[in-house]
Amino acid sequence: MIVAADGSVFLPFGTLVIGAMLAWGTSYFFKRRDERREVKGGVRLVESELRMAEGALCRIAPFAARLVEAETESEERRARHALRAIIADSYHQVADSAWRESRMLLGRHLERHEWDALRKAYASLTVQWPPEEVADNHPAIDSAMLSLKAITAGDILRSRVLHEARAVCQRHTDLPPVELPTPRSPEDAP
């Protein structure tokens, strides 16, 4: 027996297909929206960490210059003491917890060149503030290490890796660039 197919047989099947497509599309839309929000939140936290690190480096740079320009031994001793205090204080300001928590998420969603900019920035900060030193809460810094940290701070600032990484973050958060205050001169130090 041959049954004639009319439109009423295909109506429930068509409704089912259209309903499934709408459910999938809605689910996909909300999932993508949530991912964008997570990325934006992670990038905001990473940008804040980078800004703090850049500020700490900007505070170190004038004191490092003062150490280099010292002409007498007493000037050099005062410059080393001031630089040691600034570097020790910077251990409290610099962290990488947002980077450690967000890097898997950011690695999945950022372009390769953006990821590389963030990775380079945090690698350069690890040179300045090695994790074992931060964990030990700024151990005593000898004169050679103090000079090396002073030079490294200036090199990191001149290389602009932190600036480039912050630019990546600002692109993903739709925030205007944040300018850092100009560093204080060593004469203004307490």
Q: Over the stretch 124-140, which tens digit does the pLDDT of each residue have? A: 888 887 766 665 655 56
The rounded distance, in Å, linking the Cα atoms of 122 and 178 is 19
Q: Is the pLDDT assigned to residue 120 strictly greater than 90? A: yes
Judge whether residue 53 has pLDDT over 60. Answer: yes
Report CA-CA distances (Å) from 159 to 12, 61, 151, 165.
65, 14, 12, 12
The verdict on residue 81 lying in a domain is: yes
Structural domain of residue 56, as residue ranges? 10-185
Please tell me the predicted confidence (pLDDT) of residue 21.
85
* In a domain? residue 190: no
Output the CA angle 143-138-46, nearest 5 degrees: 120
Q: Residue 119 has what pLDDT? A: 92
pLDDT at 185 over 60: no
Count of domains observed in the chain:
1
Mean pLDDT on 82-94: 81
Closest among 122, 134, 101, 105 to 165, alpha carbons compared: 122
Give the pLDDT confidence score for residue 24 in this predicted structure.
85
Q: Is residue 14 part of a domain?
A: yes
Is position 3 within any domain? no
